Amino acid sequence: MTRVMIVGCSVSAFVAGLAAAQCDVTPPAGAFASADGCSHDVGDANGGCNYGAEFFEDLGMVASGASVAASGSMGTYIPTGATTYTSRDLDWFTVSTAEAGTLSFDLKAVTSAGVALANTVAFIIDFPADAIDCVTYDTLYGFQVGGCPHAGSSTVDAGMHGIIVTVPFETDAAAPIYACDASYLLTVSFAGGAFGECGASADSCIEVHATGGCVDFACCETVCSFNPLCCFIEWDQSCVDQAVADCGYFIYDCPAPVGAADCMTSASMVAVGDSFAFDNTAATTDGPGPNATLCGSAMGRDRWYVLQAPGNGALTLSACAGQDPAAPSIDSVIEVYALGTDPVIDDARAAGILDSYIGCVDDSCGVVAGTEGVTIIDAVAGEYYLFRIGGYSAGTDWPNDSAVGTATFDTGFEYVAYTTGPQKSIINTTSGAATNLGLSSGCLSATLPNRWLAMPFTLTAPEGATGWHLSELVVKGFAPAGVVNETMNWVIYSRSGTAVPTAASQVASGSVAFPVPYDDGGDSAADASHSIPVDVSLAAGDYYLTAYASNAACGTVFSNFAWFIYAPNGISLIDAAGPFCWRSVTQPTPGFARYTLPANYVVQTGDDPNDLYNCAFNIFGTPEGAPPCTADLNGDGTRDGADLALLLGGWGTAGGDVTGDGVTDGADLAALLGVFGTGC
- Which segments of 371-466 are extended strands (E)? 373-379, 384-393, 406-419, 426-428, 434-435, 438-441, 453-459
Residue 511 CB coordination number (10 Å): 15
Residues 408, 432, single domain; the answer is no
What SS3 string covers 301-336? EEEEEEEECCCCEEEEEECCCCCCCCCCCCCEEEEE
Residues 467 and 350 reside in one and the same domain:
no
Question: By C-alpha distance, which of 369, 280, 292 is closest to 326?
Answer: 369
Residues 608 and 463 in one domain: yes
Domain shared by 184 and 273, yes or no: no
Residue 174 has what pLDDT? 73
Query: How far is the C-alpha of 188 from the C-alpha of 192, rounded, in Å?
Result: 14
Domain end call among 414, 433, 453: 414
**Are 546 and 644 contained in the same domain?**
no
Claim to verify: residue 97 and residue 60 sit in the same structural domain: yes
C-alpha distances in Å from residue 428, one per residue of 176, 640, 675: 20, 42, 50
The alpha carbon of residue 578 and the mean position of all alpha carbons in its chain are separated, in whole angstroms, by 33
Both 446 and 521 in a single domain?
Answer: yes
Q: What is the mean pLDDT of each run of 10 residues along the chain (680 residues)?
A: 22 33 88 87 78 80 96 89 81 93 94 88 86 82 81 90 88 79 96 89 93 93 95 95 87 90 96 93 94 87 96 90 86 96 94 91 89 88 95 92 96 92 86 85 90 96 85 94 94 96 96 89 86 95 97 89 94 93 94 92 87 95 76 81 86 82 86 82
Could you tell me the CATH number of the domain that includes residue 187? 2.60.120.380
The letter for the amino acid at 177 is: I
| Whether 301 and 436 share a structural domain | no
DSSP state of 103: E
Task: Judge whether 201 lies within some domain.
Answer: no
537: β partners: 469
pLDDT of residue 464: 73
Which domain, by its residues, includes 456?
420-621
Judge if 609 and 655 occupy the same domain.
no
Say if residue 378 is in the same domain as residue 452. no
Q: Which residues contact 544 (CB under 8 A, 6 or more apart)?
A: 454, 455, 456, 457, 492, 493, 494, 495, 501, 505, 582
- Of 396, 414, 432, the position where a domain reaches its end is 414
CA–CA separation, 179 vs 84, rounded Å?
11
pLDDT tens figures, 184-232: 999 999 999 999 888 789 999 999 999 999 999 999 999 999 999 999 9
User: Quick one: 335 and 472 in the same domain?
Assistant: no
Residue where a domain stops, chosen among 395, 414, 433:
414
Please state the domain count of the chain.
4
